[in-house]
Amino acid sequence: MPIERLQALDNVEKEIASCIQSAGQALTELSKDKASMKQVESHTSQFLKTLNHVEGELSKHINYLTQVSTGQPHEGSAYGSVKMYKTARHRLEHTRSRLQDLENLKNRALASTVRPTSAQNNP
């Protein structure tokens, strides 16, 4: 899946180069003393066609990246599950830490109540 996406982006890059080339050819034709309007229109049409296709492909990739970055489930990604696992793991560690703190407080309280009682029994 990632390789296919990279190949698709590589194709988009090639189409961008083709788009720039079409624009350059149209401008070159316009710069001539006797420009052929048919050639200019042909290059301009090709430029616009390629540009629309590039825009559509880039929109698809942007939508995909938006889904990935927001944690929404999508085909082939474990991002949401991994994020939920890490969050649950963090909560578990925090709960363990808090329980350990409470256990330590309880033990100190018991130790302090046991000492005075022991001291009173040994006069």
pLDDT of residue 55: 94
- What distance in Å separates the CA atoms of residue 21 and residue 46, rounded to the nearest whole number? 10
pLDDT tens digits for 87-106? 999 999 999 999 998 999 88
pLDDT of residue 116: 58
Specify whether domain 1-72 bears CATH 1.20.950.20: no
User: HEC profile for 42-86?
Assistant: HHHHHHHHHHHHHHHHHHHHHHHHHHHHHCCCCCCCCHHHHHHHH
Q: Which residues, other chains included, contact 110 with Cβ-Cβ below 8 Å and sequence gap of 6+?
A: none
By C-alpha distance, which of 86, 61, 83 is closest to 71?
Answer: 83
pLDDT of residue 7: 92
Q: Which stretch of 30-39, 69-78, 109-118 has the lowest confidence by average pLDDT?
A: 69-78
Is-contact 79 71, C-beta < 8 A? yes
pTM of the shown model: 0.53
Which residue would you say has higher pLDDT here, 21 or 82? 21
Q: Provide the residue ranges of all domains of the chain, joining segments of one domain with +.
A: 1-72, 79-113
